[in-house]
Amino acid sequence: MLESPVIVWLRDDLRLADHPALHEAVASGAPVLCLYVRDEESAGVRALGGAARWWLHHALAALDDSLRAAGGRLDILRGPAASLVPALAEAAGARGVFWTRRYGAAEIAVDSAIKATLVAQGREAKSFNGQLLAEPFALKTKSGGPYRVFTPFWRALSATPIPAPLPAPARLRRAAWPANAPARLDLADLRLLPERPDWAGGLRAAWRPGEAGARAALQAFLSDRATTYPADRDRPALPATSRLSPHLRFGEISPRAVWHAARHAAATGEVDAAAIDKFLSELGWRDFSWHLLFHNPDLATRNVDARFDAFPWRDDPAGLAAWRRGQTGYPIVDAGMRELWTTGYMHNRVRMIAASFLIKHLLVDWRQGENWFQDTLCDADPASNPASWQWVAGSGADAAPYFRIFNPILQGEKFDAAGDYVRRWVPELTRTPAAFIHKPWTAPRAMLDKAGVRLGVNYPAPIVDHAAARARALSAWRMISSGESP
């Protein structure tokens, strides 16, 4: 008779190192079956966008390679996890199923149902924190409620002991796939990659998905860029940020591993401690976003600030299409949208500028922008993406005031003064002098002719006037602030 295995059910935790569920399974001494279920059927679980599906394919391939090197293998199923996981456990005679906890309402419902079924079968069902520095129910205000403001949340998180990351298992015993279980799939069967057309060339050039790629990105950041991070992080033309967000999104590296590596770099004097604090506060924003999602399950669809339910959003298909294509006539916005389309990523400062433009210059509902980012970002995080859009809109917790309206010209001049970022992603403006590259419509005609820029022909004139758009946005804000009817 085959020895009873432990199933490790993998989701957004596609790594071997600092994986509590995998660590516990290996420590049990039982054979281990590492399972990934492509579940697109469970109610309420949000579908992955195209860029995230591309990343997932390569993350799963890298994980399978790592598991095989350690003696294991990644087994794949497709369908509703609520039926497949217990069915596999029954077929395998598994002693238990271990997994990393999730914090979205739909995901919690799925996991709770599976746990109940497994317990009824007489099996262990154990979950672990492998996704966050501190879980949403672990940090509470003095009154016992959830945090709604980042600064006190960050103080509480900073004072919380962060456990040291666990090592990756050197070896594991692979459990055999039971004969009467659902048929295993090959990774290619999931059809995660784009085919006709194959639009992922820019993603392939920009990224190295997988746990090894995550470790390399962290090491490169700490060795080369961390000390200058506070000064350079808002300059999109510079390689100043960690670029860890997609790796964290798919759990190829744990936040605890990032935290301790960064703290070690500061403690040994390799990196300035103040720079590390600034970097880690961004990791804190990631935890805060999950804190918000846990306590506001409809964060991606409903305003946290109910006043915005009365906001007079505009139906502007042409404006939305121009924004998506990077054809707004505002170079810093267009550069960001084209970077996104090409690489599945956008620099964070430019994300704020582009989001502000859609919401406040065009008065397009933030949910339409959030949906576009969900489809086109490799790092489209179920918590950070909607939390960030609501922050820009002014409708979220601890949000930027709605009346803070980014001027895309001044933002470009401040953070991309030489225009290098714009020239990279908006080649139509390559020969435009720096003094005019963020406002080419103000340049003398002779200068535009020399630069080869023909406004309205090979680069658009602005689709909206900044001053008029700002006045319109402020008028809308005053209306909902005063409680007037639309």
Catalytic residues: 282, 285, 313, 348, 366, 389
Q: Dig out the tokens for 7 from the structure.
A: 């199933």
Contact 360, 354 (CB under 8 A): no
Around 167, how many Cα atoms within 13 Å sit in the side-chain half-sphere?
5
Handedness of CA 334, 412, 218, 166 (dihedral sign): negative
Provide the CA 106 distance to its chain's centre, in angstroms.
Answer: 18
CA dihedral angle for residue 22, residue 28, residue 29, residue 33, rounded to 10 degrees? -40
What 8-state DSSP symbol labels residue 95? S
Helices 408-415 & 331-343 angle (0-180, nearest 10): 70
The candidate with the shortest Cα–Cα distance to 70, out of 211, 176, 172, is: 172
Q: From residue 291, how far is each of 130, 388, 392 by CA, in Å?
A: 15, 13, 18
| Cβ neighbours, 10 Å, residue 181 | 17
In degrees, rounded to 5, the angle at the alpha carbon of residue 257 between the alpha carbons of residues 346 and 112 is 85
147-150, long-range: CB within 8 Å, 24+ apart, which pairs? 147/288, 147/291, 148/292, 148/397, 148/398, 149/397, 149/398, 150/284, 150/285, 150/288, 150/398
**Strand ordering across the sheet containing 74-78:** 74-78, 32-38, 6-10, 96-100, 124-128
DSSP annotation string for 335-387: HHHHHHHHHS---HHHHHHHHHIIIIIS---HHHHHHHHHHH-TT--TTHHHH
Contact 394, 366 (CB under 8 A): no
Contact 137, 146 (CB under 8 A): no
Handedness of CA 155, 157, 160, 164 (dihedral sign): negative
How far is 21 from 41, CA to CA, in rounded Å?
A: 24
